[in-house]
């Protein structure tokens, strides 16, 4: 992941990043490291797995080597994006045929629109925001459509993650905030020698109506940016950059990552699991403790076919083992973290509750509303804005629309235990859990959910009505009351109802 610091870059350099970019890169560093997996977390070392006071470097390296990442964060990001793109994106019939043809290779890298958009969506869940630049290769403006098609000159989409967008400028026009400049850091592969290649850093500056390209000519030393290309763009009026921002707004181009809290939960699990693995390692290896065996302990040999002998009465030799009490507590803590992480993604699929206006009901078209669906509809707007830019590049009128999947299967890969915990935690209603059990075959396919709910309700009522007695009072017709003050029991007994169910007294608010 590209990361630029402004500490040693002159303010008048084209590579100087804006403050909002530097702050945001620090914020999303952990989340992007989690996405890269166990190796990246290990390479981060003490940044995410602190070294204990007085812990030697050798012991720390051993502890780090035993660590592994249960990557719930990455699985949640992939699962949520997989829900949205579990069905192909549909370009509606109002789209032109020549635009639909472009979607099979939307980025000129042989990625169709679904593959391309899924990557953009995933990165936005990690960073809180992601961008799509609708670009167009330099070409003479007098080309007609036939010549453009023959030469392969066509608009294409470029994914710009926030890590590449090092700077931007905005302005207010007609009461609306618009972009007037963006600076994009890129890496370009160039030929080196006869067979070799090298990556060269470039910065592309896009203004409204013009562009500049700078290249790092320092050869790995202190950066020297040289202008290698500039010119005018044929796109009029604005910069064709579409923004998808599922996170909470911070600045015009940055947002709080929507799964940030889950990332820190996963970090806590990474650290706790390291402790658990480490203590298990030492608990499984008992220590041999000897006392008064010899005046020179270095002469004692431990191993098979050996006998240790001492003539001293005070001598002893025994294995000392860990009691294991902390291991159980550590396992409980890990189980709690894993449950919380599993339920985190589930909450994003739960229909929103509270008062809903008539307009909101009409917009939802009868479908359950949830956070993931809100993000999906926002992304739909982003894609349609890209289509607007694409139509303008191609000089076509009436840009079309798209349709994205908003019917999600609730935790398709979750097991029954997670669903039950979600019900107990009040995150999922019982009816939803029963439906998920039906989908997974945990209950028979021909089961009637209404009948099951009725049986469960009757059972709960019966348990509630008999809970005052409990099983130890069954078949008893009387019970001794509590002792009077002084500890002396009265002679009389209190009869119990023979029906087996105790009636609760009626309470009113009269006089209160």
Q: Does position 489 have pLDDT exceeding 70, yes or no?
A: no
Q: How confident is the model at residue 352 (pLDDT cuts 50, 70, 90)?
A: low
pLDDT digits (tens, 9 = 90+) for 372-431: 999 999 999 999 999 999 999 888 999 999 999 988 765 444 566 777 777 787 778 888
What are 313's two structure tokens? Answer: 């009465």
Tell me the chain's radius of gyration from C-alpha atoms. 33
User: Treating both helix axes as pointing N-terminal to C-terminal, what angle do 113-127 and 72-84 enclose, rounded to 10 degrees?
Assistant: 140
**Greatest mean pLDDT among 48-52, 231-235, 303-307:** 48-52
pLDDT attached to residue 140: 58
**Percentage of the chain modeled with pLDDT above 70:** 68
pLDDT attached to residue 449: 81
pLDDT attached to residue 139: 58
Average pLDDT, the chain: 78
pLDDT attached to residue 165: 97
Q: How confident is the model at residue 335 (pLDDT cuts 50, 70, 90)?
A: confident
Phi, psi dihedral angles at 182 (to 5 degrees): -135, 150
pLDDT attached to residue 40: 96
Q: Does position 251 have pLDDT exceeding 90, yes or no?
A: yes
Collapsing DSSP to helix, strand or coil, 168 comes out as: strand
Specify the residue for token string 């192909």. Answer: 88
| Per-position DSSP letters for 128-149, written without gaps between them | S-EEEEEE-----TT--HHHHH
Q: Does position 504 have pLDDT exceeding 50, yes or no?
A: no
> Which carries the bigger pLDDT value, residue 337 or residue 20?
20
158 and 107 in contact (C-beta within 8 Å)? yes
The domain spans of the chain are 19-263+356-403, 429-468
**Percentage of the chain modeled with pLDDT above 90:** 40
Q: How confident is the model at residue 280 (pLDDT cuts 50, 70, 90)?
A: low
pLDDT digits (tens, 9 = 90+) for 1-10: 544 555 578 8
pLDDT attached to residue 2: 46
pLDDT digits (tens, 9 = 90+) for 156-211: 999 999 999 999 999 988 888 899 999 999 998 888 888 998 889 999 999 998 99
Phi, psi dihedral angles at 196 (to 5 degrees): -80, 165
Q: Does position 84 have pLDDT exceeding 50, yes or no?
A: yes
pLDDT digits (tens, 9 = 90+) for 423-456: 787 778 888 888 877 766 667 666 788 888 888 8
The β-bridge partners of 395 are: none
| Per-position DSSP letters for 104-131, written without gaps between them | GGTTSSS--HHHHHHHHHHHHHHHS-EE
pLDDT attached to residue 497: 41
pLDDT digits (tens, 9 = 90+) for 14-37: 999 999 999 999 999 999 999 999
CA distance 434 to 443: 8
Q: Does position 474 have pLDDT exceeding 50, yes or no?
A: no
Q: What is the mean pLDDT of residues 316-321?
A: 65
pLDDT attached to residue 164: 96
Q: What is the mean pLDDT of residues 471-487?
A: 42
Q: How confident is the model at residue 230 (pLDDT cuts 50, 70, 90)?
A: very high
pLDDT attached to residue 337: 78
Query: Please, which residues have CB within 8 angstroms of residue 206's CB and are 6 or more apart in sequence?
Result: 133, 181, 182, 183, 184, 233, 239, 241
Largest CA distance in the chain: 112
CA distance 75 to 430: 25
pLDDT attached to residue 460: 73
Helices (H), 365-448: 371-393, 416-424, 430-440
DSSP state of 485: T
Q: What is the mean pLDDT of residues 216-227?
A: 77
**Greatest mean pLDDT among 218-232, 302-316, 431-445:** 218-232
Q: What is the mean pLDDT of residues 350-361?
A: 51
How far apart are the two ends of the chain, measured CA to CA in Å? 66
């Amino acid at each position: 992941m590209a990361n630029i610091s402004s500490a040693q870059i002159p303010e008048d350099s084209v590579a100087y990043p804006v403050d909002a970019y530097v702050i945001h890169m620090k914020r999303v560093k952990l989340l992007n490291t989690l996405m890269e997996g166990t190796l990246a977390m290990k390479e981060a070392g003490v940044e995410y797995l602190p070294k204990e006071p007085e812990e030697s470097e050798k012991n720390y390296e051993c502890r780090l080597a035993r660590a592994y990442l249960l990557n719930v964060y990455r699985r949640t990001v992939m699962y949520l994006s997989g829900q949205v793109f579990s069905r192909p994106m549909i370009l509606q019939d109002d789209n032109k045929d020549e635009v639909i043809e472009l979607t099979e290779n939307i980025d000129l890298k042989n990625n169709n629109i679904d593959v391309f958009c899924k990557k953009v969506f995933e990165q936005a869940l990690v960073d809180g925001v992601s961008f799509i630049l609708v670009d167009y290769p330099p070409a003479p403006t007098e080309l007609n459509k036939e010549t453009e098609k023959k030469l392969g000159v066509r608009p294409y989409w470029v994914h710009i993650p926030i890590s590449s967008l090092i700077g931007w400028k905005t302005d207010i026009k007609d009461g609306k905030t618009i972009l007037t400049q963006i600076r994009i850091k890129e890496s370009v592969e160039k030929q080196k020698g006869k067979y070799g290649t090298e990556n060269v850093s470039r910065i592309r500056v896009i203004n409204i109506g013009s562009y500049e390209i700078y290249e790092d000519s320092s050869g790995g030393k202190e950066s020297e940016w040289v202008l290698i290309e500039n010119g005018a763009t044929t796109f009029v009026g604005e910069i064709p950059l579409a923004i998808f921002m599922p996170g909470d707004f911070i600045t015009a181009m940055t947002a709080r990552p929507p799964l940030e809290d889950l990332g820190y939960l996963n970090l806590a699990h990474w650290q706790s699991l390291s402790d658990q693995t480490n203590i298990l390692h030492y608990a499984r290896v008992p220590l041999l403790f000897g006392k008064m065996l010899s005046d020179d302990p270095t002469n004692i040999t431990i191993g098979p076919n050996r006998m240790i002998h001492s003539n001293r009465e005070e001598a002893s030799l025994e294995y000392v083992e860990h009691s294991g009490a902390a291991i159980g507590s550590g396992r409980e803590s890990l189980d709690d973290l894993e449950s919380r992480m599993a339920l985190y993604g589930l909450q994003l699929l739960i229909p929103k509750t509270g008062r809903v206006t008539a307009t909101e009901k009409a917009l939802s078209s009868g479908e359950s509303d949830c956070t993931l669906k809100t993000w999906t509809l926002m992304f739909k707007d982003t894609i349609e804005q890209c289509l607007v830019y694409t139509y303008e590049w191609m000089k076509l009128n009436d840009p079309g629309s798209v349709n994205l999947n908003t019917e999600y299967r609730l935790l398709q890969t979750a097991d029954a235990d997670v669903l039950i915990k979600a019900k107990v935690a009040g995150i999922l209603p019982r009816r939803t859990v029963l439906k998920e059990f039906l989908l997974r075959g945990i209950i028979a396919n021909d089961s009637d959910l209404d009948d099951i709910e009725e049986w469960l309700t009757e059972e709960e009522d019966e348990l509630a009505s008999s809970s005052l007695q409990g099983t130890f009072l069954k078949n008893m017709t009387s019970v001794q009351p509590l002792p009077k003050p002084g500890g002396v029991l009265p002679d009389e007994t209190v009869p119990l109802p023979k029906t087996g169910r105790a009636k609760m007294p009626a309470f009113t608010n009269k006089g209160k």
